Structure 1
């Protein structure tokens, strides 16, 4: 049975699941009733971070225009432009044993595409979650439901995988940002193009 996390909680991933190599990180959300005249397009992005918590190059920023990183160990499985339906809206596959040793953290984020121009924010989004699934058998190992803590934010760091004493752990972060994807890119050490 999956471990359900609260904001700020950290949990071991590989120590309690010996031999775990391939995982799928599923992210999902629903849009509340909204009559702003524009569609909502939420996007998941992944930042591969060094020990200083920064990306060393643009190749460490994985999103809908750059679907692979970490020498192919992290793969974004495609953009879902509507978020309609049940279950995961976007997924990222991670081969934990193949992640380069220079990468200490893998941060998972959700942003609202063109949020400012469309006057949209995470106060209009509900049922957001991140979950980690064992790819081999489909078992859900970890789930973090973000709750309704957001209002004006346009980007959220939902959680991160990180190395600790040779094992992988997961941290349920749930931190909201204003400034959308550009703010995250800058915070993680890259230049906004």
Structure 2
């Protein structure tokens, strides 16, 4: 049995993205202003200059060796919270374009979460109280910054917290199991009720 070849998984997804049709941008409804501000703040896409800076810093860090356990765990926590946010966005709107985009982002985050879990397994990290405290603090930050939008999307704060915490604990349980053999089932970035 072999471990997951994550580069092959991500390359296959990149090929699927190239042939997948773009969302029907012109057919969408107007996004609620509170939700639009929240989405803008949640994942501010980098412009070209910022992307180049991030690429250079990433290259610099590559020369320093493999990423530290804290870097990978931080990414895992961020992705767990982003999964909850984009799930609320996907499920809480009637706009087909928003639903489609949120479903695509959600599927990509699920793949990345599996990648982070596998990296943490190989590093044999043990989730400490410090990591759980950090997850709680970051969850609180999301609630403070995006609570109104989550409510507009029909996700009460308690539902968001319990979903995020359950997902975080499942990820930690997966880390403790040992190295992955294969990726999970392919998650389609497709809105619900489409054939």
TM-score, scaled to structure 2: 0.28
**Structure with a larger share of its residues in strand:** 1
TM-score, scaled to structure 1: 0.28
Structure with greater Cα Rg: 2
Comparing both chains, which one has the higher relative contact order based on Cα–Cα distances under 8 Å and sequence gaps of 6 or more? 2
